[in-house]
Structure 1
């Protein structure tokens, strides 16, 4: 049965997205809301005005950007006892919030087509070394598959065969 299943059989059609004019603050707000319902889907798709896929921002990308900004703050790096950690955090938050999302997003997005078999989806995930993949038709995203969806589907069949 697994050989008959396609990407569209397990893809999620409800996914977080922003336009390419968004800031990191916009993405953080949208991702926090999205994570309430689907904690394993920690990505936000970045779309052009025409709805084409431009890139993806993951929770890791957000945290890495925040860490880079904090590390750049010399008062944090000085390791002095007089460091005002609250002020450093506020500065970092302010600097993060205005960053253009196109400077943070990953524009090398692994994708599959809706009719691709699940084994091809698995191969694409392994090759990309991501735990998510975008399902595209044309240049427009129509869904996402996270590794937990694929794992559940494949192991359901494997366990039934044991």
Structure 2
């Protein structure tokens, strides 16, 4: 199954799009609409693709990238263990302000996992593992066709296992 199915079989053609100069807060808004309860366009897509002003793909920003950014911002002042609630609230407010003024270009992943539409799912899975990413961008001749999330590959693998059990 992982050799028969191809990236084009499970590619998501709907995904959030960002500009390099968007704020991280705007990026979180768009990603949140995909992972929220109502799902929005690109439901379940945990990354957004980042384009420049000429509509050239420049990178990707995943939910993990935003969470890591917030963690780094919160831990700049050291460990949060034993800190009083009002102290944490102050640190958290400041981290949120920093996120609001940080540009996507400063946080995005420029070394995205890219696969071809005819790559077998086994190659897609290998790409996730090699780069430690939970998404891959499907491109052909420099054109973005969509994205594949790790949960898309998991759905294919688990479906096969469940049907054989």
TM-score range, shorter chain: 0.7 to 0.9
Q: TM-score, normalised by structure 2?
A: 0.81
CA distance in 2, matches of 1:15, 1:43: 8
The equivalent residue for 1:135 is 138
1:34 aligns with 2:64: no
Unaligned runs of at least 5 residues, structure 2: none
User: Given the superposition, is the C-alpha separation of residues 93 and 5 from structure 1 closer, same or farther in structure 2, using an over 3 Å criterion?
Assistant: same
Match of 1:105 in 2: 108
- 1:58 counterpart residue number: 62
- What number of residue pairs does the alignment pair up? 161
* Separation in 2, partners of 1:112, 1:82: 46
User: Equivalents in 1 of 2:164, 2:74: separation in Å?
Assistant: 51
Further displaced range: 25-34 or 121-130: 121-130
Matches within 5 A, 1:5-154: 5-36=5-36, 37=39, 40-73=44-77, 84-154=87-157
Return the TM-score normalized by structure 1: 0.82
TM superposition shift of 1:85: 3.7
RMSD over aligned Cα, in angstroms?
A: 2.7
How much does 1:101 deviate?
A: 0.9
Structure number, greater radius of gyration: 1
Name structure 1 gaps, 5 residues minimum: none
